[in-house]
Amino acid sequence: MIETAAIFAFVCFALSLLMNLWKVVSAEDVADRILALDTMFINAIALMVLYGLALGTEIFFEAAMIIAMLGFVSTVAYARFMLRGNIIE
- C-alpha separations of 40 from 22, 53, 56, 69, 80 in Å: 11, 20, 24, 14, 19
Using CB under 8 A as the criterion, which residues of the chain lie in contact with other proteins when the complex forms?
A: 1-2, 4-6, 8-13, 15-17, 19-20, 22-23, 29-32, 34-36, 38-39, 42-43, 45-46, 49-50, 52-53, 56, 58, 61-62, 64-65, 68-69, 72, 75-76, 79-80, 82-84, 89
Residue 56 φ/ψ, nearest 5 degrees: 75, 25
Distance in Å, CB of 22 to other proteins, minimum? 7
Q: Which amino acid is at 52?
A: G
Residue 26 CB, shortest distance to other proteins, in Å, is: 9
